[in-house]
Amino acid sequence: RGKQSIEVITVCFTLKVVFPNYFMLLRGNHETKAINRQYGFLQELEERFSKDQAEKLFAEFNEVFTYMPLACIMGNSILCMHGGISPKLTSLQDILDIPKPIVEPNTNELAGDLLWSDPMIGLKGYKENNVRGCSVHFGEDVLEGVLEKLDLRMIVRGHQMMMNGFNFFHSQKMVTVFTAASYYPEKANRGAVMYVSADFRVGFKILVPQKGEGGKKVFRGEHEMSNDYDDGHVRKADED
């Protein structure tokens, strides 16, 4: 999404290759051809390579994305994904059973939700996610049910810009962590990095935009509609 996407993804992949047991990379909703073509990755490749080289690199990067994991678990108690939970998530085995390579995750309901779903304050159950145009919103009640059924203490996800870099949902049983500072140029949001101690205490390091970054567009493409809700997670009252 940014102006140095090639460097960012190359560093991520290099760290995974060199230190495979220390870096766990998960697929996000932008790791598909249609999305990263729309939001500037192909454009960046074409600006820096010949047309043939750009198309080849674009295809090869996207082939790697089809094999990336959609979720991981920390210490058998913290489940991590980009989007959120799903009506199809009844066990951790359900995630392992998602076939790979998966070129278009939205062809598999669970895969699509792991990349695209969002929490909604005050909602009971699940409802169609009209903000995204795909996947679902989920409420505190179904989150509680998933945590109990899967014997988890917390879910960590991204997918929504938070002005302070992170925001808890449902009594700190879920947290949205958004690391990209200055994502929203008009307000220069902070970014956050979450860390977990050996005894599962959670903390955050905050990334403050440098002076003068406000109003400077850092990321390519238009912002998703979800950024209209820049005060945190969507509330049901906002939808009614």
Packing angle of the helix pair 41-48, 5-18 (nearest 10 deg):
100
- Cα–Cα distance, 184 to 217 (Å, whole number): 8
As beta bridge partners, residue 204 has 194
**CA-to-CA distance for 120 and 129, rounded, in angstroms?**
10
Does residue 159 carry a catalytic annotation? no
CA distance 76 to 34: 34
Q: Cβ distance 218 to 3 under 8 Å?
A: yes
Residues 6+ apart with CB under 8 A from 97: none
Pairing of strands 78-81, 71-74: antiparallel
3-state secondary structure of 175: strand
Q: Which burial class, exposed, middle or buried, applies to 162 when counting CB atoms under 10 A from its CB (0-12, 13-18, 19+)?
A: buried
Q: For residue 170, give the DSSP letter.
A: T
As a whole number of Å, the CA-based R_g of the chain is 18
- Other C-beta atoms closer than 10 Å to the C-beta of 218 total 16
User: Which residues are designated catalytic?
Assistant: 30
